[in-house]
Amino acid sequence: MTGLVRPQTLRGFRDLLPEEMLLRGEVVARITRVYESFGFVPLDTPVLETLPTLLGSGGEEADKQIFVVREAAKPVTAEGEATEFGMRFDLTVPFARIIAQYHPQQIKLPFRRYHIGPVFRADDPQPEQGRFRQFTQFDADIAGTSTVAADAEIVALASAAFEALELTAGSGYVIRVNNRKLVDAFLTGLGIEDGEVTKHVLRVLDKSDKITAEALRAELGEGRFDVSGDRIRGVGLAPELIDRLLAFVAVQQDTRAKTLDELAGLLPEGDPGVAEVREFLAHLEALGVSEASVKLDPGLARGLAYYTGTVYEATLVGAGVGSIGGGGRYDGLVSRFSDDPVAAVGVSIGIDRLLAGLSNLGISYGARRTTADAVVLVMPKVDPAEATRIAAELRAAGIATELYVGESVGKVGKQLAYANAQGFAVAVMAGGKEIEAGTVTIKDLQAGSESRAQIADNSEYRAAKSAGQFTVPRAELVATVTSVLNPQESDAS
C-alpha cells in the first residue's frame, strides 16, 4: 500500500451504491407525489449556514452536534469567526431563516414547502441502528399559520406518505401525536411552573418506551446510574407526583377522542390546551385519518427544544430502526431571525432510517438494478459501429439502452454474463449472420433464464443457448424490443 491512499468511508457516513440509490429514488418519488398533492412546493438551501443561524436554535444537544467547517487557507484567528461555518443539523432551522429573509417580498404566507437534503450531526454513530452523522431528511412545513388545521394537514400528509409506500396503518406504521401544552398544563396543576423542569420531565418521558418503569421512575425522582456507571441526573420530583404524572402519560383509549376526554378529566376545567387538541382531532377526523394510523399519546415529547405545541413521531412497526419521522409546531423559531413572528408547523421524514427499516422488512417496490432496459452487445468480427447504430435507434425510439463498451467486446458469453449481472431485460445482438441476412437477434433475458433454470448438464445448457431469443428483420428491431419490454400492451394491439 506504499503511497496509496486507503479508500475508506468516514465513520458515520455512507456510500450509496446504484442499487440502493434506485430504491431510494423510488421511495422519494412516491413521497414527493404525496407532498405535491397537498400543494407543497420545492425549495433548497445550502448545506452550510452561519454559526449564529444554527447555534441555540435546537437546544444545547443540537449545538453540541454541529460540524464546524472553515476555509483551509484562513486559519481561525481571534477575529476570524466569519470564516467559520456550521453544517445544518436539520432543515427546519434553514426554513425559518428563509421565511425571515424572503417574506413578504418573494414568499407569501401561508407558505408550504417541501425540502429534501442531507443534514449533519456530530454524535456517536450506530449505523446498524440507522444512526448516521450524515443523513437525509425529507421535510414538509407550513409557515404563517397558527391554526391547528395546519397541524392536522401535516399529520395527514405524513400518513398519506406512508400509505404511498404501501405500509399499513397500525401494523406497518404508526404516528403518535401529542401537544406539549397538555403535559405543561398537568405539571402546572401539580404546582410545577419552572420551564426548565418541564423540559426535563418531557425529555425523560420521551424515553418511557425504551427504559424500564423503575428506571423511568428513578429519572423523574433522584436520578440513577446506567449500566456504564454514568450518572443520569434526576428531575427530583416527589414520589407522589411521579405516580400521578405516570398515570397521566399512560392514558390510552381506543380512540383519540376518548383518550383526550380522559386526559381532560385530569386537567383544570376549560384548559386551552385541551380545546386546541380537540380542534386538532376534529380536523384529523375530517381529513379521514384513521385511528389505526394516528394515536394520541400524552407521553410523547421529542427532543428538539423549539417545539411549542403539537408534536408527532412516526415509527415503522417491527423494523427496529427507531423513529422514521417526526415534527411539530414551532411558533418561536422564525422570531430568532425577525421581529415579525411567523408561526409554523412541519414534519420531517428520515429517509435513511426509512430505507433501513423498509430493508429490514423486506420491502423493495420491485426497484431495479439498472436504469436501462436493453443492452446492445458488440459481436465478434463485425464492425462495432453496427451495435452503436442499433443503440442509437433504440434510444431514438425512447427505449433506455446501454451500449456495451467494456473489455469483452466481441465475446458474447462475457457480455451476456454482464447483462445478466446488471439485470437488463433485453440483449440485442447483430453479428455476421444477422448482418448478412438483414436481421437482428433480440434476447429476452428473463424468459431465457427461466426456461433454462432446470438444466443441470453443461452441454445441454449450452445447447439451449438460444432460449428466449428470436431473430427478426432489422426493420422490426424497435417493435420487437418494445413487445418484449411491454408484453401486455403488444398483446392488446
Partner RNA sequence: GCCGGGAUAGCUCAGUGGUAGAGCACCUGAUUGUGGAUCAGGAGGCGGGGGUUCGAUACCCCCUCCCGGUACCA
- Binding-site entries for L-histidine: 90-92, 121, 137, 141, 302, 306-307
Give the residue among 303, 351, 430, 344 at the shortest CA–CA distance from 134: 351
- State which residue, 164 or 455, has the beta carbon closest to RNA: 455
Q: Does 48 bind RNA (CB under 7 A)?
A: no
Q: Does 486 bind RNA (CB under 7 A)?
A: no
Contact positions with RNA (CB under 7 A) in 413-432: 413-414, 416-417, 419-421, 429, 431-432
Q: Does 137 bind RNA (CB under 7 A)?
A: yes
Contact positions with RNA (CB under 7 A) in 373-402: 379-381
Minimum CB separation of residue 315 from RNA in Å reads 8
Contact positions with RNA (CB under 7 A) in 339-358: 348, 350, 352-353
Distance in angstroms (rounded) separating the CA atoms of residues 266 and 46:
46
- State which residue, 14 or 336, has the beta carbon closest to RNA: 14
C-alpha dihedral (180, 182, 183, 188), degrees to nearest 10:
120
Contact positions with RNA (CB under 7 A) in 289-328: 302-304, 313, 322-326
Give the residue among 25, 18, 17, 28 at the shortest CA–CA distance from 370: 18
Minimum CB separation of residue 324 from RNA in Å reads 5
- State which residue, 3 or 210, has the beta carbon closest to RNA: 210
Q: Does 405 bind RNA (CB under 7 A)?
A: no
Query: Which residues, 6 or more positions from 14, have their beta carbon under 8 angstroms from its beta carbon?
Result: 127, 132, 134, 352
Q: Does 226 bind RNA (CB under 7 A)?
A: yes
**DSSP helix, strand, coil percent of the chain (3-state; round to 5):** 40, 20, 40
CB-CB contact of 436 with 416 (8 Å): no
Count residues near RNA (CB under 7 A).
83
Phi-psi region of 76 (alpha: psi -120 to 50; beta: other; left: phi over 0): beta
Decide the pairing of beta strands 323-329 and 310-316.
antiparallel
Give the residue among 459, 370, 460 at the shortest CA–CA distance from 423: 370
Q: Does 141 bind RNA (CB under 7 A)?
A: no
- State which residue, 45 or 471, has the beta carbon closest to RNA: 471
Map residue 159 onto helix, strand or coil: helix
Minimum CB separation of residue 393 from RNA in Å reads 18
Residue tagged 457516513 (cell numbers): 13
Minimum CB separation of residue 330 from RNA in Å reads 11
**Binding range to RNA, per CB under 7 A, among 227-235, 262-270, 279-287, 386-394:** 227-235
| One of 97, 176, 368, 443 touching RNA (CB under 7 A) | 443
Q: Does 123 bind RNA (CB under 7 A)?
A: yes
Residue ranges in 117-147 assigned as alpha helix (H): none
- State which residue, 105 or 212, has the beta carbon closest to RNA: 212
| One of 37, 449, 486, 490 touching RNA (CB under 7 A) | 449
Cell of 422: 446488471
Map residue 148 onto helix, strand or coil: helix
**Binding range to RNA, per CB under 7 A, among 48-56, 268-276, 360-368, 447-455:** 447-455
Cell of 426: 433485453
Distance in angstroms (rounded) separating the CA atoms of residues 223 and 343:
36
Minimum CB separation of residue 328 from RNA in Å reads 9
Distance in angstroms (rounded) separating the CA atoms of residues 235 and 214:
14
Minimum CB separation of residue 2 from RNA in Å reads 10
| One of 37, 101, 129, 252 touching RNA (CB under 7 A) | 129
> Known binding site: residues?
90-92, 121, 137, 141, 302, 306-307
| One of 44, 71, 124, 243 touching RNA (CB under 7 A) | 124
**Binding range to RNA, per CB under 7 A, among 108-116, 226-234, 291-299, 332-340:** 226-234
Residue tagged 428491431 (cell numbers): 477
| One of 4, 72, 456, 492 touching RNA (CB under 7 A) | 456
CB-CB contact of 85 with 122 (8 Å): no
Q: Which residues of 78-101 are buried (b: 16+ CB within 10 A; e: fewer)?
A: eeeeeeebbbbbbbbbbbbbbbbe
| One of 31, 294, 374, 467 touching RNA (CB under 7 A) | 467
